[in-house]
Amino acid sequence: MMVLKSSNKMLTVADLMSKNILSCKPETSLLEAANMMGNRNVSAIFIMFKNKLIGVWTEADCAKLDFSQPKFYQQAISNFMSSPVKQVQSTMLTSELTVLFHNYGFRHLLVVDETNTPQGVVSLSDVIKSQGLEHYLHFRLVDKSYNANIPLLDASDSMTLVAKVMREKRVNAVLVENKTLKQKGIITERDLLNLLKKGEIKASCWESAGWPLLTVKETTSLYKAYQLLEIRKIRHLVVESDDLEVLGVLSLHNIMSDIEVAYMNELEMVLEQRDVALKKSQKNLFLAKKIINASLDGIMITDSSSTILQVNPAFTALTGYCEKETIGQTPRILNSGHHDKQFHDEMWQSLRKEGVWQGEIYNKKKNGELFLEWLTIIEIKESEDEDLLYAAIFSDITERKKAEKRITALAYFDELTHLPNRRLFSDRLEMALATAKRDDQILAVMFLDLDHFKQVNDTLGHTIGDLLLQQVASRLEKYVKAGDTLARLGGDEFTLLLTEVDEVNDILDFANQLILCLEERFKIQEHEISITTSIGAAVFPDDGSDSDELLKHADVAMYRSKELGRNSFQLYKPEMNARSLERMLMEKKLSKALKNNSFELYYQPKVNVLNSQVVGVEALIRWHDNELGVVSPASFIPLAEDLGLIIDLDIWVLNQACKQINEWMETGIEFGRISVNISALHLTKGNLVLAVQNSLTVWQVPAQFLEIEVTETSFISSMDEAKKVLKALKALDVHIALDDFGTGYSALSYLTQLPIDTIKIDASFIAKIPDEYGNSQIVKAIIALAQSLGLELVAEGVEKEKQLRFLQGIGCNIIQGYFYSKALPKKEFNHFITNQQLECEA
């Protein structure tokens, strides 16, 4: 198949045309014109009148002349010319020229410049020659191309007769036989022209004939024949059979029209293929358009000079600018003025280098509102010679960022009082301790607990309780010096870090000031409330060397104040530790409890509100002691941690849970999965992965039925180690839930770095929704965040229907809490879940 030479694509008519043009006036005689053509060796002459082209006369027109007319060759050429002359611009591309030849059937065109001044002549042959003739000619033979109907005249016939025969038979050559010489000769239109040049007509035509004949065989390739014509600078060859019989004449014209036909056929094929390709790419374009229009991300396409070419409906929804207002503008219409030159320079640098840029950027909507978007810009380069395009794809992340910010604030500040929380207090204490150790300074940690605060809550309600806490906080704040920290740990517990302490007496004075300042009555709505406080303090370096110890001792001292009648201050003294005798007793019992088999697992369901189905079960440990009764895990788990028993305890729970999974699978109870709480210590200090694997293997339980609940504390000391362990668990196919989310450490970075499946919103938030200050907002923010990160959500501690409805309304459908059931011993749980299943089926 022919391929149009791609190099030709950019060739223009000027590259192909022959510049050898000859012109004359209309009154020039045919004789003169023929002579001019002969001298210049061209086959066409253009006739000009007053600088205007009015016609053309070519060698081929010779055969149309009536040589019998007397002195016709002295007549003006304007009588014989053909007009008007078709012309083309020299800048036209060869590809367009080819189509012109193809569509209109022209053979020769006059080439003119932009002022219509003739520059040259171009023929279809020129185009074909520029494509390389070999391609067409090699595989064709003379046999199909020559003209077999060539008239044969006698040597004695006149040239007038020859011209007449040529005109009537429409041939451009005739053969002449000279019987005397036993020779044949040929007369062509060029011989007629030569005759014309001389201005006389010989009696016999033999004198104009060319002989001996230059011959080729039928089986010669057209390429060879063409070469022969080129070398000899002639236009006709006689075709002979093997036994030397004359068969006809092959003319350059024959060859060219042959090629032209082939060329045109192939051209048509190529154009057809182009049409098919175009249709296909139009379809692709249609699809692309559909996708762009349907995208929820805003999309904007610009050219290399930043002119906006296209935007999609999401763009309009996000920015407020409609298509009409944007096309033709530049992206500067969205400029917020928030980013400096360096920001933009770096963006462009990355685009030029990598072809892509991604990042967060502030833009401005049509209504002036700022929004933060996550933007990706890509460079689109279709081919070498095409202009660069840029596609900007963005989504509005303002809301997500706000949620992140709120939760980050939560990580460090108490939502109710806006005071630093436990985490920020610990951070500051650590820092202050480092400085104090280096500079040999004294510092103090104070622990404040309001006396009988619970009564306020119980009698006047939580709202008043909260307002009271806010007022207490702001009163205390007035006494805090720069560099010191007042924090709220939760409930009615406050702590204070005093850094620049000269002597211990100063602490005493300060504590008394605080006690006094709180003694003054509080006015809250219509209530007047009196409250007192108990304060304890521990001093570095005497009462402890690290933050835990100092806080613990300050707490012990505060309890001592309470024991001594409240509304007072106590400095820590070692004897105070006697209070922990009770604790020692518990420690002893706990150490034996594992051996004595006095633990039991209770089960609490997690229910999908939408269909009341149990989707999971949390295993919660219970300790039954003969003397102490049922001890809450909240009090013995920290003890087990201190005593180094926690790892064994967790392994016992894991094993017990897997055994239970096995049992439920056997009995066909649908429990979703069982989750097991793992202590923060265990995550980094034991070999949790091995323990999990063992339990799974022993009880032949598929890992997907097991979930591990960890708290954020697990990551604080050793993020990398925790990450490794969680990833290994995840690789086993064990689910991972983040417990007690929202208390203390809620740092967002964990969520994206760790393989967490589920977030459990802490019960302390749920307790106060939907109507308590701030909490609803926080829960909403947590849910929005979890949803944007694709995490599952469980709300813990749901007790009331209104809490459940609120949660459901904001898209949190998995609920754990007394509303459905408290944690139940195995038997009771089995009963519960069977009933639930029956209810669901009904």
Which region, judged by CB under 6 A, interacts with ligand C2E, from 190-198, 455-463, 504-512, 793-801? 793-801
Instruction: Give the per-residue contact string, 683-722, with ligand C2E (x = CB under 6 A; - = no).
Output: --------------------------x-------------
Start-end of H helices in 295-372:
313-319, 323-326, 341-354
Q: Which residue is nearest to ligand C2E (CB)?
A: 817
Contact 807, 815 (CB under 8 A): yes
473 binds, among Mg ion, ligand C2E, none (CB under 5 to 8 A by kind): none
Count how many residues are written for the chain: 842
123 binds, among Mg ion, ligand C2E, none (CB under 5 to 8 A by kind): none
Question: Measured over all CA atoms, what is the biggest interatomic distance in the chain, rounded to whole angstroms?
Answer: 158
Is 709 a residue that touches Mg ion (CB under 5 A)? yes
653 binds, among ligand C2E, Mg ion, none (CB under 5 to 8 A by kind): ligand C2E
Tell which positions 6-25 bind ligand C2E, by CB under 6 A: none
692 binds, among ligand C2E, Mg ion, none (CB under 5 to 8 A by kind): none
The residue among 98 and 816 lying less far from ligand C2E, judged by its C-beta, is 816
Instruction: Give the per-residue contact string, 646-675, with ligand C2E (x = CB under 6 A; - = no).
Output: ----x--x----------------------
Instruction: Give the per-residue contact string, 661-680, with Mg ion (x = CB under 5 A; - = no).
Output: ----------------x---
Tell which positions 522-581 bind ligand C2E, by CB under 6 A: none
Is 823 a residue that touches ligand C2E (CB under 6 A)? yes
Closest contact distance (angstroms) between CB of 832 and ligand C2E is 14
Closest contact distance (angstroms) between CB of 829 and ligand C2E is 13
What amino acid occupies position 737?
A
Closest contact distance (angstroms) between CB of 421 and ligand C2E is 18
Contact 72, 163 (CB under 8 A): no
Is 604 a residue that touches ligand C2E (CB under 6 A)? yes
Distant-in-sequence, close-in-space partners of 765: CB < 8 Å, separation ≥ 6? 742, 775, 778, 779, 782
Identify the residue whose tokens are 């028993």: 645
Nearest Cα neighbor of 553 from 529, 579, 528, 527 is: 579
Contact 456, 468 (CB under 8 A): yes
Is 740 a residue that touches ligand C2E (CB under 6 A)? yes
The residue among 35 and 677 lying less far from Mg ion, judged by its C-beta, is 677
Which residues partner with 603 through β-bridges?
Answer: 619, 824
633 binds, among Mg ion, ligand C2E, none (CB under 5 to 8 A by kind): ligand C2E
DSSP state of 291: H
Is 817 a residue that touches ligand C2E (CB under 6 A)? yes
238 binds, among ligand C2E, Mg ion, none (CB under 5 to 8 A by kind): none
Which residue of 32, 396, 484, 740 would you call a contact of Mg ion, by CB under 5 A? 740
Tell which positions 783-822 bind Mg ion, by CB under 5 A: 796
Instruction: Give the per-residue contact string, 615-634, with ligand C2E (x = CB under 6 A; - = no).
Output: -----xx----------xxx
Closest contact distance (angstroms) between CB of 647 and Mg ion is 18
Closest contact distance (angstroms) between CB of 302 and Mg ion is 51
Closest contact distance (angstroms) between CB of 678 and ligand C2E is 6
Closest contact distance (angstroms) between CB of 738 and ligand C2E is 11
Closest contact distance (angstroms) between CB of 737 and Mg ion is 8
CA separation for the pair 292, 286 (Å, rounded): 10
Residue 710: its H or E element: strand 706-711
The residue among 374 and 602 lying less far from ligand C2E, judged by its C-beta, is 602
Identify the residue whose tokens are 């119980």: 458
**DSSP-based three-state secondary structure for 236:** strand
Q: Write the CA distances from 202 to 39, 189, 212, 333, 352, integer angstroms.
A: 22, 16, 20, 87, 79
Which region, judged by CB under 6 A, interacts with ligand C2E, from 95-103, 244-252, 779-787, 794-802? 794-802
The residue among 56 and 645 lying less far from ligand C2E, judged by its C-beta, is 645
833 binds, among ligand C2E, Mg ion, none (CB under 5 to 8 A by kind): none
Closest contact distance (angstroms) between CB of 799 and ligand C2E is 4
- Quick one: tokens of 666? 């056997």
Is 139 a residue that touches ligand C2E (CB under 6 A)? no
Is 466 a residue that touches Mg ion (CB under 5 A)? no
CA separation for the pair 397, 406 (Å, rounded): 14
Is 782 a residue that touches ligand C2E (CB under 6 A)? no
The residue among 543 and 712 lying less far from Mg ion, judged by its C-beta, is 712
Nearest Cα neighbor of 250 from 263, 234, 262 is: 234
CA separation for the pair 518, 484 (Å, rounded): 19
Count residues near ligand C2E (CB under 6 A).
24
Contact 450, 530 (CB under 8 A): no
Is 1 a residue that touches ligand C2E (CB under 6 A)? no
Closest contact distance (angstroms) between CB of 761 and Mg ion is 9
CA separation for the pair 657, 648 (Å, rounded): 14
DSSP state of 212: S
The residue among 539 and 729 lying less far from ligand C2E, judged by its C-beta, is 729
Which region, judged by CB under 6 A, interacts with ligand C2E, from 54-62, 231-239, 384-392, 792-800? 792-800
The residue among 29 and 677 lying less far from Mg ion, judged by its C-beta, is 677
Q: CA angle, 808 as apex, 804 and 812 as ends, to 5°?
A: 105
CA separation for the pair 422, 434 (Å, rounded): 18
CA separation for the pair 265, 589 (Å, rounded): 102
Tell which positions 289-318 bind ligand C2E, by CB under 6 A: none
- Quick one: tokens of 546? 């690290």
Closest contact distance (angstroms) between CB of 707 and Mg ion is 10
Is 739 a residue that touches Mg ion (CB under 5 A)? yes
The residue among 246 and 615 lying less far from ligand C2E, judged by its C-beta, is 615
Distant-in-sequence, close-in-space partners of 16: CB < 8 Å, separation ≥ 6? 94, 97, 122, 126, 127, 130
Q: Is the dihedral of CA 287, 293, 295, 301 positive or negative?
A: positive
Beta-strand ranges (E) seen in 482-578 are: 485-490, 493-501, 522-524, 527-529, 533-540, 569-571
Q: Write the CA distances from 772 to 406, 442, 464, integer angstroms.
A: 17, 41, 11
CA separation for the pair 264, 192 (Å, rounded): 32
Distant-in-sequence, close-in-space partners of 663: CB < 8 Å, separation ≥ 6? none
Which residue of 818, 835, 839, 840 would you call a contact of ligand C2E, by CB under 6 A? 818
799 binds, among ligand C2E, Mg ion, none (CB under 5 to 8 A by kind): ligand C2E
Count residues near Mg ion (CB under 5 A).
5
CA separation for the pair 539, 570 (Å, rounded): 12
Is 302 a residue that touches Mg ion (CB under 5 A)? no
Contact 201, 219 (CB under 8 A): no
Contact 450, 559 (CB under 8 A): no
**DSSP-based three-state secondary structure for 445:** strand
Point out which residues bind Mg ion (CB under 5 A): 677, 709, 739-740, 796
Point out which residues bind ligand C2E (CB under 6 A): 604, 620-621, 632-634, 637, 650, 653, 677-679, 709, 739-740, 763, 796-799, 816-818, 823
